[in-house]
Each structure stands twice: as structure tokens, then as C-alpha cells.
Structure 1
Amino acid sequence: MAMKFMGAAIMVADVARSRQFYEGLLGQAVEMDNGPHVAFAGGFSIWQKDHAHEVIFGGPEAGAQAMGRANLELYFESETLEQDCQALAVAGVEVIHGLTEAPWAQMTARFKDPDGHIVELAEPLPLVVRRLLGQGLSLEDVARRTSMDVAIVRYMAEQ
């Protein structure tokens, strides 16, 4: 398996407050703002806890625990997503959910590490863009579907 660690998403109670802390107080540059999810140039992101739990567990209260438990996700990307998910399942890794298309069209699966931390394995975003373009969507349609700026979609399409 050739997986590459891509960063961590920290679940937060209030994205605006947390963004102010990381951007305003710590000087972190915002790379992408998708509303409930804000990515910073330093390689980490913040994700509104209730939205994150809806996407991951299927409901805002499902899996809810004290902050510091089910509110941190380690994010990896793989170009061989299906094979890697199968290998993890064969190895007995606990599956939160198998391959699923996220609301932003990225194929993703989530597992738990030995300590119960959430680990996401997903297709690289440039592959998402190329997959959607291959399905006949325009650059603008892909931007709307993925919540990315058209310029970012265009760049990813050319990678």
C-alpha cells in the first residue's frame, strides 16, 4: 500500500471561533473555506463537529463524545482506494463506514486505529475532479458539486 498522510481535521464546537483563533491569533493562512470546514496552509483543518458527525456517523449525535475523542480525524489519500480498503478490512481493522461518496463527491472510507481514533482514507481530490469531468460535468458543475473554486478545479484537472 502506498498511502500518504495528508493532514488532520480537528473537530470544533464553533468554526468561526476556532478560525479566529488559528487565523487571527496564530497567523495561519486559510487555504480553503467550505463553511463548516476550513483548511489551513499548514496542512491541518477545522471541521464543525455537528456537520462532521453527520457525514461520518450519519447523525449529529451519533458517536458524540467529549471533545478530544471522536472529534479528530487523520486523513490519508490513496490512488488505490478500493484495494487499500479491502486490505484494511482483511487485516481486521474496525470499519466506521466502507467506501461512500461524501457530500463533496470524494470517495471515502473511515476506520478506527487501535486506540479508536478516526482514520479517513480517500481518493485524491484531483482524481475526484477528473472522475467528475469524465462523467461529463463541466468545470463549473464540478466546482458546485465539490464546493471548490473553479480555478482550483481547473488546476486539479490539469494535474
Structure 2
Amino acid sequence: MTKIKFEGILLTVTNLERARKFYENVLEQVPIYDYDYDGQMIAYESGITLAPEWAYADWLSGAEFSVKRRANISQLYFEVEDLEAMFKKIKADSAIDWLHEPIMSSYGAYTMRFYDYDGHIIEIAESVAFVAKRFLAQGLSITEIAERFGDSEAVVEELIAQK
């Protein structure tokens, strides 16, 4: 039986250099493959790959194809410990189009969403482990945190034990 293995996601971009600066300098992605010698693509440790629209269209030569921006059918999801610092870093870029600035989710994590330069939705939220530790520091019990998360006490204990 053939096994299929997920390798990552490819995002088409209008300007590879501008997108690269954003993903590396703002979203702190670490490149592992740089095929930029001919402007074709850059792959990151996270599994995200950036490729200019012209290269993607070339790879699909012969297929009916057109890029549609802001399809709003998916998002890239990132977690951080210090959402406020990340918010300030991203807010400094006036070209960012916000879906919403930091708000609290139903389970208690603060989260924010915006479009990158090419219309891909980016969500950045506090890590679940960080939220669990915050709740514990605020006096909630393991049981109360588990109920808030809709998860087991064992999972919450694992989250709190994470460094």
C-alpha cells in the first residue's frame, strides 16, 4: 500500500522578495531551501513554501488556472507566548489589513487575524500551554481549566508541564 505524506503548503505570492521579508522578519520563519536563484520559491522549516504566481502558473502549464486572492477559505495558524509583543511588531506594518486585532477566543486564548500582503489569512494566537499556565496562575483548578478547554485533566497537566 502506498503511503501519502503531507509535506507542506505552497502559497503563491505577487512579490517573492516582499513576502520573504514578511515571513522571515515578522513571522520568524526559517528558510531551509532557497530556490531564489531564479526567483522560483523558498521553503521554510514549518512546511510553508512561497512561490511567485508566474512560477506556479508555469508549473501548471496547459491547465486552466488563475489565482484568486482573498478566497477566505483557509488560514495559516501560528502560536506565540507573547501575543502583545507580536501584535506590536505586526501593527507597525501599515500595509497589513486586519480581520481583527487581539480578541479572546471562547476557550480563553487571545488571538488575532490579518491578511498577509497576498491575501492569505494569518492567525496568531497564544499557545494552549501558555493559556493553561495563565489560568493556573489566576487560581483556576486543573478541572476548571479542562472544562474550559473541553479536554481531559491529563491533557491540561501535560500542557502545564511543558517548558
* TM-score with structure 1 setting the length: 0.56
Counterpart code for 2:128: L
Q: What are structure 2's unaligned runs of at least 5 residues?
A: 1-24, 30-46, 48-69
Which residue does 2:111 correspond to in 1? Answer: 108
Q: Which has the higher contact order (CA 8 A, sep 6+)?
A: 1
Distance 1:133 1:103, change over 3 A: same
Which residue does 2:137 correspond to in 1? Answer: 134
CA contact (8 A) 1:111 1:120 kept: yes
- Measured against aligned partners, the alpha-carbon deviations of 1:115-149 in whole angstroms (never above 9, x if no partner) come to 22210011111100000111111111101111222
Aligned residues: 99
RMSD of Structure 2 on Structure 1 (CA): 2.4
Which residue does 2:83 correspond to in 1? Answer: 81
Which residue does 1:57 correspond to in 2? Answer: none
Moved over 4 A (4+): 1-5
TM-superposed CA distance for 1:94, in Å, is 1.2
* TM-score with structure 2 setting the length: 0.55
1:111-126 to 2 correspondences below 5 Å? 111-126=114-129
1:4-153 to 2 correspondences below 5 Å? 69-92=71-94, 93-153=96-156
Larger Rg: 2
Distance 1:4 1:137, change over 3 A: farther
CA distance in 2, matches of 1:87, 1:4: 11
Distance 1:157 1:3, change over 3 A: farther
CA distance in 2, matches of 1:4, 1:154: 29
Q: What are structure 1's unaligned runs of at least 5 residues?
A: 6-42, 44-67
Q: Percent identity?
A: 33
TM-superposed CA distance for 1:100, in Å, is 0.8
CA contact (8 A) 2:133 2:160 kept: yes
Which residue does 1:154 correspond to in 2? Answer: 157
